């Protein structure tokens, strides 16, 4: 986890120096450090993500902590679209660790299953969190009360409907519509979500299918949208709104 966080920090700083044309020397130092960091590795023995630099045998296989999957969530280092082998290793790790967890850990796992586009597993853990790990006043409990679970599960509900952490080769954020919608959520709508790049998104769906999405970019330029394994590129204009229906996919 520590290397994944450091790698993310360095990448963000390098991106900032390029965007704003500042601190080029420090940016180059960050690149040198980044190149020396050991990447996230897959165990040759288990096919799971390695928690340590050595491929040690796990002593508590079903422990609730999944810190070494930080690259999947909340980071964007690992994704179904761009690093499928690592995503599969993350999935094997989650399956091995099991679904048992405290409230905050359940919220984290829900978000991870969202990133793996498994809405049914996400919903299963969501039900578990609400029924077994939530107090009558809606406080999440470990026990005791931990706000991590409340914040985490609201983020998870948003990412069931919308994800935008992956970028394409032109550095456009890919807006994924309904990427982790489970079978138990066949109909619904959500308004006012924010996608990366400063885009407001409203989504309506029925019978498990997209009915309409309304995108309101705060800029003129490319808008990349993905639904059901198909990606399209649109242009934002002076109207400030893009209406998307299932026929585009």
Is 239 a residue whose pLDDT tops 80? no
Amino acid 38: pLDDT: 94
Amino acid 58: pLDDT: 85
Amino acid 81: pLDDT: 96
Is 236 a residue whose pLDDT tops 90? no
Distance CA 140, CA 149 (A): 5
What is residue 210's three-state secondary structure? strand
Amino acid 65: pLDDT: 87
How far, CA to CA in Å, does 169 sit from each of 35, 82, 139, 173?
20, 10, 42, 10
What does the block give as tokens for 97?
């660790």
Neighbours of 88 (CB within 10 A): 17
Amino acid 6: pLDDT: 97
Residue 137 contacts residue 189 (beta carbons within 8 Å): no
Domain residue extents for the chain: 40-161, 166-248
Which pLDDT band, with edges at 50, 70 and 90, does 62 fall under? confident
Q: Which alpha helices (H) appear in the chain, and where do they start and end?
A: 2-20, 24-36, 84-97, 103-115, 119-132, 147-161
Q: pLDDT per residue over 33-61, tens digit each?
A: 999 999 999 999 999 999 999 999 888 88
What is residue 145's three-state secondary structure? strand
Is 170 a residue whose pLDDT tops 80? yes
Amino acid 17: pLDDT: 95
Amino acid 63: pLDDT: 82
Q: pLDDT per residue over 103-152, tens digit each?
A: 899 999 999 999 999 999 999 999 999 999 999 999 998 878 999 999 99
Mean pLDDT taken over the chain: 95
Residue 243 contacts residue 217 (beta carbons within 8 Å): no
Amino acid 135: pLDDT: 94
Amino acid 13: pLDDT: 96
Amino acid 131: pLDDT: 94
What is residue 236's three-state secondary structure? strand
User: In terms of CATH, what superfamily is 166-248?
Assistant: Golgi alpha-mannosidase II (2.60.40.1180)
How far, CA to CA in Å, does 153 sit from each of 98, 114, 203?
18, 11, 19
């Amino acid at each position: 986890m520590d290397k994944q966080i450091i790698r993310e920090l360095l990448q963000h700083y390098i991106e900032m120096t390029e965007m704003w044309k500042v601190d080029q020397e420090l940016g180059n130092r960050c690149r040198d450090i980044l190149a020396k960091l050991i990447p996230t590795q897959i165990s040759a023995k288990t096919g799971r993500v390695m928690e340590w630099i050595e491929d040690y045998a796990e002593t508590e296989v079903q422990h609730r902590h999944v810190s070494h999957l930080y690259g999947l969530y909340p980071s964007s280092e690992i994704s179904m679209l761009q690093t499928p082998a690592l995503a599969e290793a993350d999935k094997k790790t989650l399956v091995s660790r099991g679904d048992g967890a405290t409230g905050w850990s359940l919220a984290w796992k829900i978000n991870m299953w969202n990133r793996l586009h498994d809405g049914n597993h996400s919903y299963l853990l969501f039900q578990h969190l609400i029924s077994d790990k939530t107090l009558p006043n809606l406080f999440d409990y470990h026990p005791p009360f931990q706000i991590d679970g409340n914040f985490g599960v609201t983020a998870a509900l948003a990412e069931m409907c919308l994800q935008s952490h992956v970028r394409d080769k032109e550095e456009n954020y890919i807006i994924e519509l309904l990427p982790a919608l489970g079978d138990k959520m066949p109909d619904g709508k959500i308004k006012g979500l924010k996608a990366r790049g400063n885009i407001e998104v409203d989504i309506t769906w029925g019978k498990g299918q997209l009915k309409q999405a309304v995108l309101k970019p705060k800029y003129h330029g490319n808008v990349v949208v993905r639904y059901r394994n198909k990606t399209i590129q649109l242009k934002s204009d002076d109207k400030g709104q893009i209406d998307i229906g299932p026929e585009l996919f």
